[in-house]
Amino acid sequence: MDAHDTTVLPLDGRWQDPPCVLPPTVDLRRDIIFARPAGHDLLLDLFLPTQRRAPAPGMVFLHGGGWRAGSRQQFWRQAIHLATLGIVGICSGYRFAPEFVFPAQLEDAQAAVRWLREQADELGVDARRIGAAGGSAGGHLAALLGTCEAVVSGVPSRVQAVIAFNGVFDLTSLRTAGGSSAVEGLLGPSRRLAAEASPLVQAAAGAAPTLLLHGTADTTVPFAQAEAYQRRLRELGNRAELAAADGAAHGYFNRPPYYQATLTRMEQFVRDVLGIDAAAGKSRP
């Protein structure tokens, strides 16, 4: 590919290795308002394959940051990669704690899924094949999207695939360990919300197929959380895969030498679960 055919996008320094490159086969539309809860504008970035031949899957990406910070750019590179395969992606924002407590963040993630479904015909998306992916706090929200449902005006918010990068699945145990500050900000003074907000507790039969990618040396969200969540999903009869990164710490998936390996594992899972053929841009029914 000629260098003049690509655009190198300036990202926050934490996510520039390797650089974020926008190829001519992907159209980026930034800062789209997808919801206005209580007058608060929620924004997303949309990644569109420039050539779409058939309804294709969609993917919602949710950034990390302890539910109180973070940037939609965190998953730009992953969204661009999937768009080169024909998948329409959005990198979505959500309201931050502690100004907004749970379930505001989940409601915003659900609104993003519904927005994608509502725009399905225009964007060339198969509304029956939408996945959610996220890191850390975003992985927590993605996991909930795979097992919780909220139908608004006839549009469901549940997804058909979940990919969680070092996600949070048990807020009760994290509250009493190293992540207590972030969890307290998310939940406020309520003790009851810890269970309601925990994918480990909310998991049910019929949850979306789930891929968990987690570093074994993660001290922010212990690897044991991913092991426990996989075990629980499987006990309920759900498909759950765990890809362990030996010796990797929190946020490892966006840094070398792990970035390419996790990208490839995500692609394999998306192809299998959401129905992407080997040829880029082709979706199978």
Number of Cβ atoms within 10 Å of the Cβ of 276: 23
Do residues 135 and 226 make contact, with C-beta atoms less than 8 angstroms apart? no
Do residues 264 and 253 make contact, with C-beta atoms less than 8 angstroms apart? no
Q: Which helix (H) or strand (E) holds 134?
A: strand 125-135
Give dist(CA 186, CA 191) in Å, integer.
11
CA-wise closest residue to 53 among 19, 75, 85, 80: 85
pLDDT digits (tens, 9 = 90+) for 81-116: 999 999 999 999 999 999 999 999 999 999 999 999
Q: Where are the domains of the chain?
A: 3-275
pLDDT band at 3 (very low <50, low <70, confident <90, very high): very low
Tell me the two tokens of residue 57: 């899957």
Contacts of residue 34, Cβ cutoff 8 Å, sequence gap at least 6:
42, 43, 44, 90, 92, 111, 112, 115
For the segment 194-202, the average pLDDT, to the nearest whole number, is 95
CATH for 3-275 (3.40.50.970, 3.40.50.300, 3.20.20.70, 3.40.50.1820) = 3.40.50.1820
Coil vs helix vs strand at 2: coil
pLDDT band at 235 (very low <50, low <70, confident <90, very high): very high
Contacts of residue 207, Cβ cutoff 8 Å, sequence gap at least 6:
146, 147, 162, 233, 236, 238
CA-wise closest residue to 108 among 175, 66, 176, 157: 157
CA-wise closest residue to 96 among 86, 109, 87: 109
**Has residue 1 got a pLDDT over 50?**
no
Looking at residue 264, its pLDDT comes to 97
Mean predicted lDDT score pLDDT of the chain = 90
Give dist(CA 195, CA 209) in Å, integer.
22
DSSP count for the chain of H helices, then E strands: 10, 10
Give dist(CA 91, CA 72) in Å, integer.
5
**Angle at CA of residue 71, ends 250 and 136, nearest 5°:** 30
Looking at residue 2, its pLDDT comes to 34
- Please spell the DSSP secondary structure of 63-91, one letter per residue: --STTT---GGGGHHHHHHHHHTT-EEEE
pLDDT digits (tens, 9 = 90+) for 37-76: 989 999 999 999 998 778 999 999 999 999 999 999 999 9
pLDDT digits (tens, 9 = 90+) for 126-164: 999 999 999 999 999 999 999 999 988 899 999 999 999
